[in-house]
Amino acid sequence: MQEQTAILEFKGVAVRSASSQISGISQIDFSLGRGEIAVVSLEEGREHIPLAPLAQGLLTPDSGCVLFQGADWAHMKAARQSVERGRIRRVYEHYGWVTNLDVMENLCLSECHHTQRTRDEVMQEIRGLARRFGLEDIPEARPTRVHGMVLRKLEWVRALVGTPSLIILERPLFGAPKADAPKLMEAVCEASRRGVAVLWLTEDERVMECRSLGALRQFRMDGEKLVAVSSGRESDG
């Protein structure tokens, strides 16, 4: 039987620390298949680990390579990179909004740009997902006028809209009510059951301990290295 192509693959990836806020990483090797969830545990207060920008081809590694759906980001043309990034959703560790667009435009942006879906259709899905996280209305204001907690939950909504291949969650529970964490985990599990691969960077131990997260593989950052804590597959070291 032919082996299925991994959604995301890091092969001997190393990046030198570019600033005091961004951590260097070395010899990162792992792959993430369809429907798999990889949780990377981070120490509290640790500087930014550039796994998300690497996974999206926004940062070129100093050595090694990152493959998305079997293709090396470094060998893709810019137009192809944009199309592939349209299949990735992300909750950002830093501010993840475009301030000259209102919140709904921000939420619809990727889906309206990359698919033929109508805006009304996308908005309907967004409203449904928002209700799931306790948001009855989507604010009509620009993001700078919306409360940080609401924006954080709306980032979860944006990450779940449409049919992405990969969802990257960078400390998604930061700034969100603790009571809502299970709702996010449940939504992520559902996405994973639909075949979406999930890369979840967290400081929150509850995510590591959450048994409801189906095909869960756990890692932790040990200095600059990624260490497998428990692997859903035997092939991982």
Partner 1 sequence: MSFIASIGQGAINLYHRIRWVVSISTAIVQLAFHPSSWTKPVRAVLTRQIVFTGYDAIGFVAVVALLTGISVVVQAQVWMGRLGQSELLGPLLVTVIVREVGPLLVNFIVIGRSATAMAAELAGMKVRHEVEVLDSQGLDPLVFLVMPRAISMALSVFGLAMLFVVFSFGSGYLCGAFLGTGPGDPGIFARSVVRGVSSYDFYNILAKTLIPGLLTGVIAANEGLSVEGVATDIPQAVTRTVVRATLAVLVVSVIVSVLTYI
Asked if residue 125 lies in contact with residue 144, where contact means CB atoms within 8 angstroms, the answer is no
174 binds partner 1 (CB under 8 A): no
Q: Are strands 63-68 and 8-15 parallel, antiparallel or unpaired?
A: antiparallel
Q: How far is the CB of 185 from partner 1 (least distance, A)?
A: 23
Q: Which residues contact 231 (CB under 8 A, 6 or more apart)?
A: 217, 218
Q: Which of 13, 32, 40, 88 binds partner 1 (CB under 8 A)?
A: 88
163 binds partner 1 (CB under 8 A): no
The gap between the terminal CA atoms of the chain, to the nearest Å, is: 23
83 binds partner 1 (CB under 8 A): yes
Q: Which of 113, 136, 178, 211 binds partner 1 (CB under 8 A)?
A: 113
31 binds partner 1 (CB under 8 A): no
User: Which 3 state secondary structure label does DSSP give 171?
Assistant: coil
Q: How far is the CB of 48 from partner 1 (least distance, A)?
A: 11
50 binds partner 1 (CB under 8 A): no
Instruction: List the helix and strand counts (H, then E) for the chain.
Output: 7, 10
Chain-centroid distance of CA 224 in Å reads 20
The contact set with partner 1 (CB under 8 A) reads 52-53, 56, 58, 78-79, 81-88, 90, 92, 94-100, 105, 108-110, 112-114, 119
